């Protein structure tokens, strides 16, 4: 893989040099990682990317609604609805209608869903370890800090 020359985007105008355009790079990286993980989880657990994200979120935040999951999982309503239906039909998720709002349901992993998540967690952690293997602990902390700052800035711009 060739290294990309360090050039300011302002120096590149009026054209856009895509390999240095941060939104493109992050989207490309995210897609590569998501597809790689999805290939593993699809074969092993019959899960889509959306289903994996929902399972992971409910593992640490039981009782979220589909509306609450959407921004956390970066998924649209249709993707969430399909994933929730598939997870329910497979016995991995249960819906509990909320009092006072019959249109919304709190979502919970079933015993089968929790068991599956317990099998996925070490695989996901191992995958992350492999991604970060070339980084020092200080670099990992810096990366986390940078990503948090980018997240906050993007949120403010959005």
Reading the chain (158 residues) residue by residue, the pLDDT tens digits are 556 555 565 565 678 899 999 999 999 999 899 889 888 888 899 999 899 999 999 999 999 999 999 999 989 999 999 999 999 999 999 999 988 877 889 999 999 999 999 999 999 999 999 999 999 999 999 999 999 999 999 999 98
- Only one residue has tokens 């409910």, namely 58
Q: Is residue 6 part of a domain?
A: no
Q: Is residue 15 part of a domain?
A: no
Query: What is the CATH classification number for the domain harbouring 143?
Result: 1.10.10.10
Q: Is residue 3 part of a domain?
A: no
The Cα angle at residue 45 between residues 32 and 64, in degrees rounded to 5 = 80
* CA dist., res. 142 & res. 153, Å (int): 16
- Beta carbons of 85 and 96 less than 8 angstroms apart: no
Q: Is residue 8 part of a domain?
A: no
Torsion angle of the four alpha carbons 54, 147, 23, 59, in this order, in degrees rounded to the nearest 10: 0
The count of domains in the chain is: 1
* CA dist., res. 91 & res. 85, Å (int): 10
Question: Number of helices and strands (H, E) in the chain?
Answer: 6, 2
Q: Which string of b and e fits 125-137 if b means at least 16 CB within 10 Å?
A: eeeeeeeeeeeee
Q: Is residue 5 part of a domain?
A: no
Task: State the pTM of this model.
Answer: 0.80
Q: Is residue 7 part of a domain?
A: no
Q: Is residue 130 part of a domain?
A: yes
Q: Is residue 11 part of a domain?
A: no
Q: Which domain holds residue 89?
A: 20-157
């Amino acid at each position: 893989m060739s290294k990309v020359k360090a050039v300011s985007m302002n120096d590149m105008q009026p054209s856009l040099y895509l390999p240095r355009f941060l939104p493109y790079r992050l989207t490309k990286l995210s897609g590569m990682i998501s597809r790689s993980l999805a290939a593993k989880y699809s074969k092993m657990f019959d899960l889509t990317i959306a289903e994996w994200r929902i399972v992971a979120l409910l593992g640490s935040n039981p009782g979220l609604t589909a509306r609450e999951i959407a921004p956390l999982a970066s998924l649209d309503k249709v993707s969430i609805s399909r994933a929730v239906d598939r997870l329910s039909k497979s016995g991995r998720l249960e819906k509990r209608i909320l009092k006072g709002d019959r249109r919304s349901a709190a979502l919970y992993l079933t015993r089968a869903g929790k068991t599956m998540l317990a099998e996925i967690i070490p695989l996901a952690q191992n995958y992350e370890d492999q991604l970060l293997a070339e980084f020092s602990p200080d670099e990992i902390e810096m990366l986390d800090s940078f990503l948090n700052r980018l997240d906050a800035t993007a949120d403010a711009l959005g």
